[in-house]
Structure 1
């Protein structure tokens, strides 16, 4: 009988879903006999989940400092803190519904909300199948911490140390990197040091088109270097319309795009990426050895991602946006700095993360190895 793996994510931003899809695609490729599904834990048919997602996005837009306060407060919580318990109690019925509908043999989470709910069900004797967490940021947050989770797939040593320091055995923690689409391994970065053409500057704000994209495009109009600017608005139609208006007056060639499946190609040809610090986008950029300029990170986890990436030497933070043009001019005039950033990105990148995770999940569910020890 075919084994079933259910990947449970949440569409708060697009990165968590993209990570789940990347693992699913690799599982389908290497283990076609396995039945694999991805579900959105906060899909719009569930009114409570939709409300939570909309509340999160509204806080980021209207009350970013309040969201940052709540995020930092929850970071200081102990493993049994109320924030996780409340999340679990609110969402346990949704998880029970998914379990009844899909009847999986294994659960894999790319967002902490369903992870909290499943851990609660395990603690209360309502769930007993293997569970894995794929952590989709460069920093640790206690919302992910549950002794009921059998395996953790994480981005770096720092998260491994944090998990271990909170009681998770090292043999349950695997430093795989953050899973990105396999097509990023199939599009090697161009040799930009030999590119004599006009440098391309890629500006992105994730699937939701968040961050100071419009401000970045305006700032680059004052750059002394001739540039090609590619601005990706994602699913943000309002932003796309604003950018198209700017295109008429841009002194540099400006290409405006909505949601696209060609991010790997755009990154492979770019000299710099200007973006907020979503972990999926940044992991994709690392795979393409693409230097990062981080503008207006969202509060909370993206702020922590920005700190990690700058400390690693693969990114620079820029604030306010009007200083962007002078920084781009300086970097493009100093190729040795960009070369050093590309080298560090190469060392930090883990483009095969989805494949490594899929291999371990497949081997475990088919009893070829035992990465899921008893809780």
Structure 2
């Protein structure tokens, strides 16, 4: 049954995680009959030139950090505990405000949801009497997410709830929901592995390497050379939309039957499901997808910032292997495949962290909240 609620979801495309989380929420609303749902990349629409520059700097920072110039990591930790209303925080809070005001006046949403921390959102929405909701898309909490005018937070783990409570956010304004991921990952029991029959028919253990569209997983060649020699195994490498990396790896490993190179894979959940383990970066959304499928994960040299903090969180929970160099990663993988106990224990820890159907939980909770009289701010 269709509903008249109008929902505005704000996001940003610094990596794919924020966008994917927004899309998952939109699809969940639509399944509930809420069809007036708009996703808006606020920075891109409000400040297109600044958006392009900052995204380029973000991507380049990941690529050149291995040479010691990690300006993104430096800025992340420099502002991690900064107050939202002082210094750069005051400037950042004004970004996108005019465009957001214009969009709200045109759409008149019942609620505004952010999957990326925009300081302008809670302040403006408070003035206009619209409830705001923040969906934190990492397993760590940066100061940019914290704002007293946000009506409700949705976080990945209880530790983040504790951190928000320590910042004077009341417990009833925080839900430990998990991070929204695509519905396909919850349908693993009905997955069809036929698209990857070349991997499943030879009865070898598949080691999946998610290289990333920007080639941000470091030392792809070295990683492949290390893991391709694991007994009774094969390697599947996903390059995303990085055609240059895909072409390079196809040339190098042409003729090696146990190394399979892929470009963009739309049904990545199926490939992940048939894998014995996954080597990847530590993005919040990717980690949530892996938690859902409970496939053991190896994180190699995570980038400073939220990925390093995500990796530290998973390592502390014994839900991932994290390595600082190739020798350490090689040792971890050899030990993992030599003793099935490691896989069993990691899957057990992953199951403890996983939150089922975060998208549906969040959308249902938001709809319930906006129907309460005290949530409608006047």
Instruction: Indicate the residue corresponding to 2:130 in structure 1.
Output: 129
How many residue pairs end up in the alignment? 362
- Measured at CA, do residues 171 and 374 of structure 1 come closer, stay the same or move farther in structure 2, by a change above 3 Å? farther
Q: Partner of 2:124: helix, strand, or coil?
A: helix
Instruction: Indicate the residue corresponding to 1:274 in structure 2.
Output: 279
Instruction: Indicate the residue corresponding to 1:243 in structure 2.
Output: 249
The partner residue of 2:353 within 348, 351, 372 is 348
Instruction: Indicate the residue corresponding to 2:43 in structure 1.
Output: 42
Higher relative contact order (CA 8 A, sep 6+): 1
- Measured at CA, do residues 165 and 48 of structure 1 come closer, stay the same or move farther in structure 2, by a change above 3 Å? same
The partner residue of 1:316 within 314, 321, 328 is 321
**Within 2, Cα distance between the matches of 1:116 and 1:338?**
41
**Within 1, Cα distance between the matches of 2:155 and 2:88?**
22
- When structure 1 is superposed on structure 2, of 336-345 and 232-241 the one drifting more is 232-241
1:9 is the counterpart of 2:15: no
- Measured at CA, do residues 264 and 174 of structure 1 come closer, stay the same or move farther in structure 2, by a change above 3 Å? same
- Measured at CA, do residues 224 and 201 of structure 1 come closer, stay the same or move farther in structure 2, by a change above 3 Å? closer
Per the TM alignment, residue 101 of structure 1 is displaced from its structure 2 partner at its CA by 4.3
Deviations 1:342-374 (A, max 9, x none): 111111111311110111122233x1x578475
- Measured at CA, do residues 93 and 62 of structure 1 come closer, stay the same or move farther in structure 2, by a change above 3 Å? farther
Q: Partner of 2:83: helix, strand, or coil?
A: coil
**Within 1, Cα distance between the matches of 2:185 and 2:51?**
31
Runs of 4+ in 1 over 6 A off after TM superposition: none
Which residues of structure 1 form unaligned runs of 5+?
none
Per the TM alignment, residue 183 of structure 1 is displaced from its structure 2 partner at its CA by 1.1
Question: Aligned-pair RMSD on alpha carbons?
Answer: 2.4
The partner residue of 1:228 within 210, 225, 234 is 234
Q: Partner of 1:43: helix, strand, or coil?
A: helix
Instruction: Indicate the residue corresponding to 1:164 in structure 2.
Output: 165
TM-score, length-normalised on structure 2? 0.88
1:176 is the counterpart of 2:177: yes
TM-score, length-normalised on structure 1? 0.89
Instruction: Indicate the residue corresponding to 1:198 in structure 2.
Output: 204
**Within 2, Cα distance between the matches of 1:101 and 1:116?**
21
Deviations 1:132-175 (A, max 9, x none): 00000001111001111101000111110111111111110000
- When structure 1 is superposed on structure 2, of 64-73 and 271-280 the one drifting more is 64-73
Instruction: Indicate the residue corresponding to 1:27 in structure 2.
Output: 29
1:364–1:372: 8 Å Cα contact kept in structure 2? yes
1:151–1:371: 8 Å Cα contact kept in structure 2? no
- Superposed, 1:65-144 pairs within 5 Å as 65-112=70-117, 115-122=118-125, 125=127, 127-144=128-145
The partner residue of 2:293 within 277, 288, 304 is 288
1:187–1:268: 8 Å Cα contact kept in structure 2? yes
Per the TM alignment, residue 95 of structure 1 is displaced from its structure 2 partner at its CA by 2.2
